[in-house]
Structures are given as C-alpha cells and as structure tokens.
Amino acid sequence: MNLQPTKYRYRILALLFVATTINYLDRSILGVLAPTLQYKVFHWTDVDYANISIAFKVAYAVGMLTMGALIDRLGSRRGYALSIGIWSVFGMLHAAIRPAFSLIGFMFARFGLGFGEAGNFPAALKTVAEWFPRKDRAFATGIFNAGSNIGAVLAPLLIPLVVSASGENWQWAFLMTGFFSLLWIIVWLSAYRPPEVHPKVNAAELAYIQSDQEVQETTEKIPWRKVLPLRQTWAFAIGKISDAAWWFYLFWSGKFLFDQFGLDIKRLALPLIAIYLMADVGSIVGGWLSRFFIGLGWDLNRARKTTLLLCILFILPVVFTTQIKTAFRVDQSFFRELSLATYTAERPVEEDGALVMREATVQVDPLVLNQLRRLEGTEYASARDFITA
C-alpha cells in the first residue's frame, strides 16, 4: 500500500495559476493597446476611453455576484469552464469591431469580457477550498493570484510582438488570448474532478486535504438588508476602495506613460514589467508570511490581521515619493497584492458580496483619472499618490 500522499492538488493549482494568468493577460490587452487604438485607429476622446473602461468594471461587479452563485450551483468544473468560455468569446469579439461602431462595440465587448472574467476568482477560491487544507490556503491563493501579475507582465511583452508579427494588425492580440482560453478549457474539463472521486488522488492525499477542514454547519441565508448595516461589511468595502489604484495600472498606465513620457507600444514593456513583477513577489510573500505566522503558533485571526497591518504600514511612505514615480507604483503594487493574498485565502466561498463591494467602489476612478491627467508634473503624481495611499 502506498502511504506517500500523491500531489495532484498542485496540478490543479497550476491550472488555476494558468487561468488567472490568461485572465489578466486578456484584460490587460486594452491598456497596452490604448495609445494605438485611441490615437491611430478609432480616435476616441479620453471620456470615450473612460466609458469603455467603466463598462468592463460595471460588468465585473455584477458578474462577481452572479458568476459566484452560478459556480456554486454548477460546481467548480463546469462553472469555471463556463466563465472562461464567456470571456473567450467576448475577448475575441474585440477583433471584429469596426471603426463606425467602435465606442458602442468596445463597450459591449468589454462588458461581456468583464462579466465572464468575474468568475475566475470565485471559481479559483472555491477550488482551493476543495483541494487544500485551511493551513495551506493562503499560500495556494498567493500562488494562483501571482498569475494575475504574470499575465500583466506578459501583456507588454507579447502584445507588441504579436502586433508586429501580424503586420501591425492589433486584432491578433485579442484572438491570441481567446485561443489560449479555449485550450485551457479543454485541459480543465479533462483533468478536474473533486478530490474525493479523482482517480489520481490516493487516500493519503485525500486525508491531508481534509485534515483541518471546517465543520460544515447548516446555516440560514442572511438577506442583504441585514448584511449592509454590519460593521464588518463596511470594513471590507472601505478597505477595498484602494483597489481603484490597481485598475489604474491595468487600463491607464499605458496611456499615462504615452501621454507623459511619449512611450509607444514598443517601449512600454520595461516600466510595466517592473510594476507587475514587484506585485507578483508581493502576492506570493503575502501567502507565505501569513502561513509563517501560523507556524509560530498564532491563530488565523492574528496571523491574517498582522500581515494586513504590515501591508498598510509599507504603503504609507508612498505619499513622500512624488518625485519618484516608479517607486510609488512598485511599492503600492507589491503590498496591494500581498494584502489580497491574505484576504482571499480565508474568504468563505459563498461570500462574493465583499468582492462586489470592491468592484462597486472603483467605477468612478476612470472619470477621476480623466480630470487628474490634465494636471502636470508633480501635481498629477501627488494627486495619484493621495488616492492610492
């Protein structure tokens, strides 16, 4: 009898990492192509571009709640595949949009993309809860969440290459990620089964997975009218307001670097990679640090909150670096990801409302940015620093 536990859970984790990488690669395409599409192809105004960005985030907020409930109903295997299938179709739809309908077309495509992509994190978190004991979930969450930054790093590297290789055809960037997404669905459907019935999971690994699972209790559903007055609800919502800065990186950093420093699509890679690599490190360190504190004998509550407190303390110096623009972006990216890895690891699968709150708080950000970008030099930097810190 084989007493050594198999490690199939890490194959599942690898698939979550790849899916999250594709997720962020797909959503980052517009941010990298923004100067080209706005100034050379479709001639959008900044308000047009802000509305296109908002369409994605409105759908993401709605989809976070809708897709979360749907994934709970369908299960991780079918629910995750459905989510990625939706965003694959709408992602590739960008390539079919013509100039005469570019604004409404991109808003429609971004809305569908945001709705589908909203299912990634609820599905991934549900999968982690099914495949990992509680003591390992923060680390597992940090690993798959690192895919978001890998995808953001790959975007400024791959997209210029794809556009250049296709004869300056920007449509191929959207078709490329659609192909990757559809390929992932095939692998996922063939590889995923619940650990209890998976033929490649032996009894020893299953025992480890279930070693410290929570006791499942039958609980009554709480209506929103009772949830909203709770202090805990607003604590999550207020904390997540700062996430608007992350959307700035995804959708506006390419435009900012082009408008302020004249960096075109071929020269965006280095500054964007620096930002997202540090965020990647923060994502992994966040999960590791939380697990380290637990290893010292701390309870979960103390370990998570201490990690979050450290994140907050390290972000505060941002307000003193208005003359060092890259420093503020790297610092904020790093500790934002560190804190997200800590929070999501212990979030119950069904509590997608907190993530909906996060998305709902950032809808105004594109319009604020449209006004802030009119400020020059250190005024612009100071305004952004104030918001993110």
| 2 belongs to a structural domain | no
- Span 219-248, average pLDDT: 76
Q: Is the pLDDT of residue 364 over 70?
A: no
- Span 18-28, average pLDDT: 94
pTM (predicted TM-score): 0.72
Contact 31, 155 (CB under 8 A): yes
| 182 belongs to a structural domain | yes
- In this structure, what is the dihedral angle of CA atoms 283, 286, 288, 291, given to the nearest 10 degrees? -140
pLDDT digits (tens, 9 = 90+) for 376-387: 444 344 444 434
Helix (H, G, I), strand (E, B) or coil at 303: helix
pLDDT band at 190 (very low <50, low <70, confident <90, very high): very high
| 220 belongs to a structural domain | no
Question: Between 375 and 73, where is the model more confident?
Answer: 73
Contact 246, 27 (CB under 8 A): no
Which positions ≥6 away from 152 have C-beta within 8 Å?
Answer: 24, 25, 28, 249, 250, 272, 275, 276, 279
Whichever domain contains 249, its CATH number is 1.20.1250.20
Nearest to 118 by CA among 78, 80, 153, 151: 80
| 218 belongs to a structural domain | no
| 223 belongs to a structural domain | no
| 216 belongs to a structural domain | no
- Span 125-146, average pLDDT: 90
Range of the domain at 350: 8-210+229-388
Nearest to 389 by CA among 307, 334, 341, 332: 332
Question: Between 99 and 254, where is the model more confident?
Answer: 99
Mean pLDDT of the chain: 79
Q: How many domains does the chain have?
A: 1
pLDDT band at 118 (very low <50, low <70, confident <90, very high): very high
Q: Is 363 exposed, middle or buried (0-12, 13-18, 19+ CB in 10 A)?
A: middle
- At residue 319, the pLDDT reads 62
How far apart are alpha carbons 185 and 193 in whole angstroms? 14
Q: How many helices (H) and strands (E) does the chain have?
A: 18, 0
Q: Is the pLDDT of residue 324 over 80?
A: no
| 1 belongs to a structural domain | no
- Span 36-51, average pLDDT: 92
| 217 belongs to a structural domain | no
pLDDT digits (tens, 9 = 90+) for 286-320: 778 888 888 898 888 888 888 878 877 877 776 66
- At residue 375, the pLDDT reads 44
pLDDT band at 62 (very low <50, low <70, confident <90, very high): very high
Provide φ and ψ at 262, rounded to 5°: 70, 25
- At residue 292, the pLDDT reads 87
